[in-house]
Structure formats: structure tokens, C-alpha cells
Amino acid sequence: MDSKFDIQAYMTAGVERVVKDALKATFRDPRESAYMLKFAATSKKASARRAKSEAEGTHIPPFLIASITSKCNLRCAGCYSRSNHATEDCAAHDQLEAGEWSKIFDEADELGISFILLAGGEPMIRRDVIEAAGERENILFPIFTNGVFIDDKYFELFDRHRNLIPIMSIEGGRESTDARRGKGIYDRLIANMDKFKEKSLIYGCSVTVTTENIKDVVSPEFIATLRDRGCKAVIYVEYVPVTEESRELAIGDDERNYFSGELARLREEEPEMVFVSFPGDEKSSGGCIAAGRGFFHINSHGGAEPCPFSPYSDINVRETSLREAIESKLFKALQSGGVLADDHNGGCVLFEKRELVEALLG
């Protein structure tokens, strides 16, 4: 990994860009814009706290992914979480309680972490944790959800707490979405979108990009379907092949170059929407930004992991502080060992080179 690359400057610029784009996307909604303006000021203070820690020898990433439950009501084809057994119907007492998540959110705020992505399983199952997140207005909480559990009480919660941003998963049109997620899911998502628009609530969509849908999900027709229903953010996630049989679904360099061009076009043509690609062009960030470089993952049991696609941990936040978790031996070894900058296929270097990660754990 290039020792000259400044990860702190890169991630700070990334946060500022996301906040700027979010302000642009919400300027027609006074309440949403008011929150985003306040958050912009807060995120600058958070950046200053991270810079202070950096000067003292500790790199604090601006992003955190929190899988607040391992339960899920759907069985989506090719799900990485079920493949690595992270999504199981385990007993409630095995999961972190709402109070434990509240403590994590508070410490994240103190450290200068500006974004916490709530995931699962299906995070909407944990209404108690999402309510706790809503109280932490210094942090923006995108909630990655299949959309099935969004009800009137959730709409009321999103209206009260503008830092909660539902991000609903969609695979393109009805045929591709229902084929992966189950019959009727597409229509449920469209109904949710219409209600979000009716209530003037901000929301986004996440799209798993594969060799099969890569052209459809950047098409004018698909984007218009989302835009016309008030969608303000689209987060594209490259498919990670969880089995050898599914490897052909993972996009390669040619598709990635095509997609990068289409993403630039969308950002130019749709100024009232935010478009984010994950992992995006890792070369511009000095390699993968997982394992604490740009973000890390806390699973539903408290284990601090490099990312959701790399479910390995040597430290648990139930037993230590968030700061200590960020400086775990596994994260330090990954950051210094060059694994994060290795060439790879598919959307995740740590998933592809999981034998090396396992070796680091001994």
C-alpha cells in the first residue's frame, strides 16, 4: 500500500462530498435541509476530532457499519450473510441489547464517527435500536432494509428523527427484484416509495450490481422510476460471489469501467440525487477502506470485523471500548500487511483472500 496516501484527507473529503450532495438533494424540503445544514456543521467538528486523534497516532474512520440483528424475514438468492452464517434465527439474548448499541453510538459520536450504517439481517426488526439511533442527531444513520417492516409507526419515527434515512434494497425492475427477493417485494417497495414521497420524507435505495443487471440499474427508465417517487440516494454495491457457481455474477474490470462512466453521467444529469458506489474505485483510495481504514463492521453479537463480507474478529465491543476495537491486532495487521491493496476479482478483496485473513487470526 502506498505509504504516501493520506487516508485521513481522503475520507474527510469523501464525507464533505456526501454532505454537500445531500444538501443539494434536499434543498426543496425545508425541514430536511435544516437538518442537513446542522449536520454539515456537526460533521466538520467530527472531522476535527478525527484529525486530532490522527495527530495523536490513532486513525478514526468516519464510517461504521452496525449489523443490529442477525434475523431476517427473507431468503434472498446469493445472500452473503446467509452464506457465511451471519444471518441466523438465534436467540434474542445472543444479540447486543438496545442499551449496548446506545453506548456504542455515544462513543462513536465522541470519536468523531459521522455515519453509522444500520444493517442486519433485517434491521427494521430492531425498532428499539433504531429509536435509540434517532436520538443521536450528530450521526446520520442510513438503514439498509428490505422494506417489508416499514409501517405507519416507522413513518412517524422517520418524520421525528431526520437523521434516520431508510435505504431500501431493489434489484432493478419487478422481474429482477422479485426473482432475487421474493414475489411481491417490488410492489411493496414501490408502495413504500409513494408513501415516503406523500409524507415528504427522505429515503434512498440500494442496488446490488451484477453482470446481469448492470445496464438496467443505471438506465434512464430505472432512475426515473426512483426519482419520480422522491428517491434521493442510490447506493450501488458490487456483488460479492459467495459461491463458485455465482462468480459469473461478479463484475470485472470492463464492467467496472463502464459503470464508473455511467455513475459520472448520473451525477451530472441528476443533481437532486446522491449516487454512491461501493467499493468504487479502490485504487483512488489506496486500496480497500475496510478494517478501520475508512470503516469497520460490528456484528449483532458485538464482534468487530473488517467488513460484513469478512466475518472475522479478534475483539468484542461488549468487553472493550470502541476505540480499542478500532485498534485491534487484526485491523492493524490488515492495514500494514498489504492485503487491502492486493489485486482481486469481484467486489471484496477480503472475501476473496479470506484464507489470508484467517491466517492472520492464527
Give the CATH number of the domain where residue 279 resides.
3.20.20.70
Res 340 pLDDT > 90: no
- Cell numbers for 175: 422481474
Which of 208, 254, 238 minimizes the C-alpha distance to 348?
238
Measured torsion, CA atoms of residues 36, 189, 252, 340, in degrees rounded to the nearest 10: 50
148: domain range?
Answer: 7-360
In this structure, what are the phi and psi dihedrals at residue 249, rounded to the nearest 5 degrees? -80, -20
Distance CA 161, CA 269 (A): 30
Q: Residue 10: what pLDDT?
A: 59
If one counts the domains in the chain, the total is: 1
High-pLDDT (> 90) share of the chain, %: 59
What pLDDT does residue 296 have? 94
Dihedral sign (CA 76, 77, 81, 83): positive
The crossing angle, in degrees rounded to 10, of helices 127-134 and 152-160 is 20
Q: Does any domain span residue 146?
A: yes
Mean pLDDT of 78-106: 74
Indicate whether this model's pTM tops 0.85: yes
Q: Give 239's contacts (C-beta < 8 A, 6+ positions apart).
A: 78, 208, 209, 210, 246, 249, 250, 251, 346, 347
Whether 2 has a pLDDT exceeding 50, the answer reads: no
Residue 2 lies in a domain: no
Q: Angle at CA 124, nearest 5°, toward 118 and 127?
A: 100
pLDDT confidence of residue 85:
56
Does the residue 257 lie in any domain? yes
Most confident of 25-34, 219-228, 309-318: 219-228
At residue 24, φ and ψ (nearest 5 deg) are: -65, -35
User: Is residue 1 assigned to a domain?
Assistant: no
Collapsing DSSP states into helix, strand and coil, what is residue 26? coil
Q: Do 165 and 205 meet the contact criterion of CB atoms below 8 Å apart?
A: no
Indicate whether 185 belongs to any domain: yes
* 83 pLDDT tier (thresholds 50, 70, 90): low
Domain assignment present for 153 = yes
Q: Where residue 323 falls among pLDDT bands split at 50, 70, 90?
A: very high
Tell the residue number behind the cell numbers 427473507, with chain if given: 74
What's the mean pLDDT when you consider all of the chain?
87
pLDDT digits (tens, 9 = 90+) for 113-144: 999 999 999 999 999 999 999 999 999 999 99
